[in-house]
Amino acid sequence: MCKTTEASTTAESAPQTSPTSAYVYSTGAAFGQHYTTEQVLDALTRQLANTNNDNKTKSFHVDFASRVLNKCGFDYHSFALPLNDLFRRFTREEYLLLRKTHLVDLAERAGNEALERWGGNRKDITHLLWGTMTGALDSPTIDIQLTKSLGLDLDVERTNIEGMGCLTGFRLLNVARQISSADPNARILVISADLRSALGNKMEENPTKEDIVAVCLFRDAGSAAVVGGCSSFDGLSDETPCYELVTGASRIVEGTDHLVDYFETNSGAIRLLLDKDLPEYIQERT
């Protein structure tokens, strides 16, 4: 049985366990380099200065970007890229290389931290759930790369989820909850990572206010968790759950398709347009 003594790193005390419940046994996180708002604004200003817009429009965009960045309230911004590459326009090939290197690096570091904190045999991980919004066509897929680099069993059951936006992590945890509730012996490694700063590297040549909002809001990070039921493997009788996964759900809200638009253009730019009324719609209809 799982121990229910005090969890030293997260919860004040471990939850009472049930054979059909699902628990988070450890977590991990990874970040890029941290820059101040002033450094980020300087980098964005340099990019905006290279557009074909007239000086009046450029000045307006810089002022607008400054207001948005300061309203975000970030103390520091996590970017996988070095400072001189922030908001530099990338080719498609550079974007794919960024995904292959820095996105995988964030995922690996977060996954390693969760596995080390868990303390079990990595070969005992039965499922790997991987998710990202930083999409591309690529083979071998990142879940395969992570299986090998993290030292998991090559027969681990893999699930790869892309394109679910901010819901990705919640969806993965809910899938892990469903697996563990059905099989208490399962141990699931959940990893989610994103390079959302890549939006800044794939802006239109002449960005709009909507483009600037998107590149000001999103940054780079990875997170991971080991999830399982109450039953323990041999040698892991001291597993201590940090959190219980109680339930999970999702809802498609009718009449809201126009509030988020995410697409690639013929020029290779990636555009994420968020309607300013999005928060109100969510509050009113959920």
Is residue 136 situated within a structural domain?
Answer: yes
Is residue 272 situated within a structural domain?
Answer: no
Is residue 269 situated within a structural domain?
Answer: no
Calpha distance 160→173 (Å, rounded): 13
- pLDDT, tens digit (0-9, with 9 covering 90-100), for 112-126: 999 999 999 999 999
Calpha distance 106→242 (Å, rounded): 23
The contacts of residue 203 (CB under 8 Å, 6+ apart) are 47, 87, 89, 211, 215, 269
Query: What's the confidence (pLDDT) of residue 251?
Result: 82
Is residue 235 situated within a structural domain?
Answer: yes
Is residue 17 situated within a structural domain?
Answer: no
199: left (phi over 0), alpha (psi -120 to 50) or beta: alpha
Calpha distance 227→25 (Å, rounded): 6
Instruction: List the CATH number of the domain containing 94.
Output: 3.40.47.10
Is residue 275 situated within a structural domain?
Answer: no
Q: Which of residues 175 and 277 earns the better pLDDT score?
A: 175
Calpha distance 227→208 (Å, rounded): 42
Query: What's the confidence (pLDDT) of residue 94?
Result: 93
Report pTM.
Answer: 0.88
| Domains in the chain, number | 1
Residue 203 domain boundaries:
22-253
- pLDDT, tens digit (0-9, with 9 covering 90-100), for 28-81: 999 999 999 999 999 999 988 888 788 888 888 899 999 999 999 888 999 999
Please, which pLDDT band fits residue 231 given cuts at 50, 70 and 90? Answer: low
Calpha distance 200→78 (Å, rounded): 13
Is residue 259 situated within a structural domain?
Answer: no
Is residue 72 situated within a structural domain?
Answer: yes
Residue type, 133: M
Q: Reply yes or no on whether the pLDDT at 135 is more than 90.
A: no
CB 188 within 8 A of CB 129: yes
Range of 93-102, 105-114, 198-207, 231-240 with top mean pLDDT: 105-114
Calpha distance 209→190 (Å, rounded): 35
